[in-house]
Structure 1
Amino acid sequence: MRNPGKHKGRGACSSPAPRFRSVRHEAVDDGWWQDEAPAPQTVVMPDPARTVISRNQSPDVPFDRSINPYRGCEHGCIYCFARPSHAYLDLSPGLDFETRLFAKLEAADRLKEELARPSYRCAPIVLGANTDAYQPVEKDYRISRGILEVLAECRHPVSILTKSGLILRDLDILVPMARRGLVNVMVSVTTLDSELKRRLEPRTPSGERRLAVVRRLNKAGVPTGVLLAPVIPAINDPELETIVAESAAAGAICVGSVILRLPHELSQLFREWLQAHYPDRAGRVMKILQSMRGGRDNDSDFGRRMRGQGPFAELIARRMQLARRRAGLYRREQVSMDCGQFRHPEVSDGQISLL
């Protein structure tokens, strides 16, 4: 029987019921059925979204609006803070999150409609804040490219978060936008250890490949930094200094970091992952994480949720500061994002003009 703790090519070890479901089912192995369960396959379904710009008022992030072309993410990163959002679809934040995907097929049209409203006021949009806008299915669906085409047409500034090399496909759009000061990119680099990457974020490019993307984007004139997120104690935190140094060598304009967050079902999923892959240190990892979260698995309070608190969180912050200084990144480079060039798009309402 397949090991219930591991699924090849997937990050989650199980499919816990979403927190809003009133009826729960529990699988029990009675030893009778011996065939291996089939590997979970990716299914993509349409998401008929009426709007695509999401708003937030969080003081912890430097933006108030974002676009997520997809719900769920095939990358399978076990640490993804967006996993619990699948519960709103009555799906599991575990394996469902990385196999039951939803694509906003008409995102470009909906975006154009929103930007065309006379009341719309321009401010930088983040593309891929929740799930990666360049996850594998983007190669076929090209939704993110359609969104970029609209933003370029309107001269609307955009910041992109990704860990995928597929972003290089859209250099023909990004380079002209960068010349106008309308785009910057942050590439997530969590580890340079290929074995850890395979376990931690199974369907993502290698760390070396991501640094090559950073190098290529900056060489093309697209301002690009690196985000070490999340920092996981006793898992990837020993690589902190190396990742900062290698990022600087690849031309990154800045390197930021975020401490691991474990909201809602993610706490159970991460604990299962630790037991499946690193049982020898699972207790130590959770003990350190809880020391940064006031004794709990998660702390959602603004001002602390990204950085944590306590001695270990302070140590991580100090190490990042020193590593950036040694790499010549002691001052975060400010990238100009010009909102003054924005122009509302023209949207046809079906009426024939008399002029």
Structure 2
Amino acid sequence: MNKKSVIKGRGAQLNTPNRFFEFSHETRSDFLEYCHKEGENADKNKTLYLPVFPKTIVNKVQSPDIGMAYSMNMYQGCEHGCIYCYARNTHEFWGYSPGLDFERRILVKQDAPKLLEAHLKKKGWQARTIVMSGNTDCYQPAEKEFEITRRCLQVFLKYKHPVGIITKNALILRDLDVLIELAKDNLITVNISITSLSEDTRRILEPRTTTIKKRLETVKELSENGIPVNVMLAPIIPGINSHEILPLAKKVSELGALSVTHTIVRLNGVIGEIFTDWIKKTMPNKADKVLNQIASCHGGSLNNSSYINRMHGDGEIAKQINKLMVLARRKYFKNKHMPKLNNDLFKPYQNGQLKLF
């Protein structure tokens, strides 16, 4: 790795232009040279939290292969900086770049709990699991300051409404008290993303995420407290973490996880450019091999946007990965399964009021 050329603590190493803008910003080499001579930083690499005020918070998921019906996002952008993140492209809709902006311009929806409660009070709303978050991590570093996710969990508990969580941050354990109460009525499932058992791999793939050790401890503690945990081996990247499928599945099963799921990496939209730039800077010796293997899983392209196939790919390498996942479930998760969440307890709260009789 050429450490001088790498922006420390970030996944993306550049800001790609926003496709919706006519003009783009470019950092010129003469400006960088000037900063170097003057002893100044050309890029301060700071994270900014920017308040936004949407009118709604719950989104209906249209994609048939996502595995959720409704989602909500308290934050847009994610400081975790996972280089492969499919959500990067959505930052363009907010006027930012999917590259470094995605990690450093975090949009904060402080009204999310109030908007969620208004949604649950809607006339005719039928309880369906709402997942936090379908796009960016609800326990990213911003949550430590704003506690929006915790307040939303308290709303779900108040209305006895089922909720799912997707995260890779041990900060979820801060809210163990609320999670335990939800679990008593079968109203909660947690999906923990773990892409590797190697801390070195974690650091370059997901620079500002919880350590692997803490993530494994999180699986164990949640499971011991009766909270159902699914571990997402996602994404599997050929040539980087594809050799870890069986050891990962074995480890998380021993810690109490009830299931494992996976996806094969797909570099949709401009993420292909961001990922390619990143891997050539951080793993120059294996960059071409990894890029070629990813492309072989998607018909020769870094991206496959077709439903179903985009998640698990095709081709020989994809087949090998998918077969390993079948073996992992058969070997380490026999007689284990995630529970179906309870939609029935929400009924007394429909139409925005409690039933008296």
Range of TM-score over shorter length: over 0.9
Matched, 1:285 2:287: no
Matched, 1:318 2:314: no
Give distance in 2, aligned partners of 1:265 and 1:44: 24
**What pairs with 1:129-278 in structure 2 (closer than 5 Å)?**
129-278=134-283
Q: Is the 8 A contact 1:321 1:330 kept in 2?
A: no
Matched, 1:98 2:103: yes
SS at match of 2:21: coil
What is the total number of aligned residue pairs between the two structures? 346
Matched, 1:341 2:339: no
Q: Is the 8 A contact 2:89 2:270 kept in 1?
A: yes
SS at match of 2:345: coil
SS at match of 2:192: strand
The structure with more helix, counted as a fraction of residues: 2
Q: Is the 8 A contact 1:153 1:345 kept in 2?
A: no
SS at match of 2:191: strand
Give 1:32 deviation, angstroms. 4.1
Give distance in 1, aligned partners of 2:17 and 2:42: 19
Give distance in 2, aligned partners of 1:20 and 1:258: 29
Give 1:20 deviation, angstroms. 1.2
Give 1:206 deviation, angstroms. 1.4
Give distance in 2, aligned partners of 1:232 and 1:143: 32
Give distance in 1, aligned partners of 2:22 and 2:240: 35
Give 1:196 deviation, angstroms. 1.3
Give 1:323 deviation, angstroms. 2.2
Which consecutive residues of structure 2, in runs of 5 or more, have no partner in the other structure? none
SS at match of 2:311: coil
SS at match of 1:82: helix
Alignment partner for residue 57 of structure 2, among 35, 45, 52?
Answer: 52
Give distance in 2, aligned partners of 1:218 and 1:192: 19
**What pairs with 1:64-143 in structure 2 (closer than 5 Å)?**
64-143=69-148
Letter in 2 for 1:149: Q
Give distance in 1, aligned partners of 2:150 and 2:350: 17
> What TM-score do you get using the length of structure 1 for normalisation?
0.94
> What TM-score do you get using the length of structure 2 for normalisation?
0.93
Relative distance call for 1:185 and 1:109 in structure 2 (3 A) is same
Give distance in 2, aligned partners of 1:74 and 1:40: 12
Relative distance call for 1:170 and 1:163 in structure 2 (3 A) is same
Residue 311 of structure 2 corresponds to 306
Give distance in 1, aligned partners of 2:290 and 2:334: 29
Give 1:5 deviation, angstroms. 4.1
Letter in 1 for 2:109: K
Give distance in 1, aligned partners of 2:84 and 2:312: 16
Matched, 1:295 2:300: yes
Give distance in 1, aligned partners of 2:199 and 2:343: 40
Give 1:59 deviation, angstroms. 1.2
Letter in 2 for 1:169: R
Relative distance call for 1:253 and 1:292 in structure 2 (3 A) is same
Q: Is the 8 A contact 2:15 2:97 kept in 1?
A: yes
Letter in 1 for 2:8: K
Relative distance call for 1:292 and 1:124 in structure 2 (3 A) is same
Letter in 2 for 1:52: I
SS at match of 1:114: helix
Can you list the C-alpha shifts for 1:68-96, whole angstroms capped at 9, x where unaligned?
11000111111111001000111011111
Give 1:262 deviation, angstroms. 0.8
Give distance in 2, aligned partners of 1:309 and 1:5: 35
Give 1:28 deviation, angstroms. 2.3
Residue 6 of structure 2 corresponds to 6
Give 1:6 deviation, angstroms. 1.4
Identity across aligned pairs (percent)? 37
Give distance in 2, aligned partners of 1:14 and 1:246: 35
Which consecutive residues of structure 1, in runs of 5 or more, have no partner in the other structure? 349-355
Letter in 1 for 2:344: G
Of 96-105 and 317-326, the range deviating more from structure 2: 317-326
Residue 352 of structure 1 corresponds to none
Relative distance call for 1:308 and 1:115 in structure 2 (3 A) is same
Can you list the C-alpha shifts for 1:187-244, whole angstroms capped at 9, x where unaligned?
0001111111111101111112111101000100111121011000101111111111
Give 1:344 deviation, angstroms. 3.1
Letter in 1 for 2:339: V
SS at match of 2:231: strand
Give 1:321 deviation, angstroms. 1.4
Moved over 6 A (4+): 345-348
Letter in 2 for 1:14: L
Letter in 1 for 2:341: M
